[in-house]
Amino acid sequence: MVRVAQPSPAELLRRTRLRYLSTLVHVKMSDIWAVLALDEVWRGLIEEDLAWMWSQLQGASNLQNPRENYLQWLLLIQTSPGYWKRLINRACTHAILQRCKIQQVRDFHHRALERLWTQLPGIARPQLCQTKTHQEVFGCFECGTRFGSKAGEAAHMCKKHGQVSKLRSLFDQPSCPSCLKYYHTMLKLKAHLYYSTTCRERLHSMNMDCAIVPGGGSHEDQQREHQHDRYLPPLRGQGPRPAPQRAREAVDIDDHIYGRMVDMLIDAKDAETFQQQVEEYVTHYPISWTRWTSTLTFFKNNIEAEDAEVLEFDFTAIQEILTELGEPAHWTFLRETRAPSQVAKEISELHEECGLLRQWLEQQTPCVAPRAFGGIRIVLHA
């Protein structure tokens, strides 16, 4: 953001809300304020936006704190809408410049400390970065490939192995069968089912199983997106809804792998043989790490001590093996080969490191550097 000198996404949303506040003031619809008065979340966002704008402009204007003198701000919006818009742009510009200033100070500290620590080779330098310890893992067993995100893993499983998302079997048109809303495109409907837990669980409980039709990115969906003006919101349909079904939890597991693991557990002579068979089979089977962990967890939770007595296997050893198979470090292609992601310290932490360096230098015996001859003095001497 410093390099392109643009507002952050949060600042863009603040700018939009503050401009929309001016639109609401001048629209002359008194009923809308009764509706907005009930929206506590929106009111809280507007209050934070006004406080942020005042923090950016308080050093260059006579505006008072909006939490203490809101009428001054309201009068400004009512009488000077053009000036209000310029003030919003000025606040965004100030935020951009402040972010650039902070980045310059941080870069200067890093350069200065790098040079200072090189002059003190006998002192252990403290860590300048904090390493992220918790990191999600995604990959494909058959290809032995690791991915950086869940979306990349899902895209690979769809394009390479033809395994589509189970959400696509819940609909075959851009209308949600649960809430009866029309979302214009298949991509928007899939996003709705991804985030709406209520609709997704309701359709799973109904055993919804639609034929897989072309989804987001297809030629048909591109035509729908071209016809949609991107301003029309989702439209609620009318009509009878299916009768409510008994709620059930949808488990994303691989049925084939689950069945094979049950057969291996029955036929295996001991726990080590079971582990070797599972590892050999799964490394040649097209399954993602996300589905493998869910299948493994489901298999582990459904094994009981009574099953161990009937099938004659070591229950504790099998549980330990299943736990080990669910660890990314157990699989070679999932082990971390890149440098761990790092988060730069804040300026206050860099100041603390400078203080430690200063204390160490003050405790040492100062060395007198010899005075060097400049070019002018050499000419005068000659």
Whether 205 has a pLDDT exceeding 90, the answer reads: no
For tokens 């979302």, name the residue. 183
Among 217, 153, 164, 165, smallest CA distance to 186 is for 217
3-state secondary structure of 181: strand
Task: Decide if 237 contacts 181 (C-beta within 8 A).
Answer: yes
Rounded Cα–Cα distance for residues 141 and 257 (Å): 12
Q: Give the tokens for residue 60.
A: 């260059």
Confidence at residue 44, expressed as pLDDT on a 0 to 100 scale? 93
Adjacent-strand bridge partners of 236? 181
3-state secondary structure of 171: coil
Adjacent-strand bridge partners of 344? 129
Listed in sequence order, the residues at least 6 apart from 163 whose beta carbon sits closer than 8 Å to its beta carbon are 157, 286, 288
DSSP 346-367: PHHHHHHHHHHHHHHHHHSPPP
Confidence at residue 133, expressed as pLDDT on a 0 to 100 scale? 46
Q: Which stretches does DSSP call E strand in 75-218?
A: 129-131, 138-140, 145-147, 181-182
The percent helix, strand, coil of the chain (3-state, each to 5) is 60, 5, 35
Sign, Cα dihedral of 21, 24, 25, 26: positive
Rounded Cα–Cα distance for residues 140 and 285 (Å): 9
Listed in sequence order, the residues at least 6 apart from 326 whose beta carbon sits closer than 8 Å to its beta carbon are 293, 296, 297
| 56 confidence band (pLDDT: 50, 70, 90) | very high
Residue range 17-48, pLDDT digits in tens: 999 999 999 988 888 888 888 889 999 999 99
Q: Say what the pTM is.
A: 0.55
Whether 193 has a pLDDT exceeding 60, the answer reads: yes
Tell me which of 218 and 312 has the higher pLDDT. 218
Confidence at residue 132, expressed as pLDDT on a 0 to 100 scale? 47
128 CB burial (10 A radius; 0-12, 13-18, 19+): middle
Task: Decide if 311 contacts 263 (C-beta within 8 A).
Answer: no
User: Percentage of residues in the chain with pLDDT exceeding 70?
Assistant: 91
Rounded Cα–Cα distance for residues 258 and 165 (Å): 19
Residue range 66-122, pLDDT digits in tens: 999 999 999 999 999 999 999 999 999 999 999 999 999 999 988 888 888 777 766
Q: How far, rounded to the nearest angstrom, does the alpha carbon of residue 9 sit from its chain's CA centroid?
A: 14
Q: Give the tokens for residue 127.
A: 């860590």
Rounded Cα–Cα distance for residues 313 and 316 (Å): 9
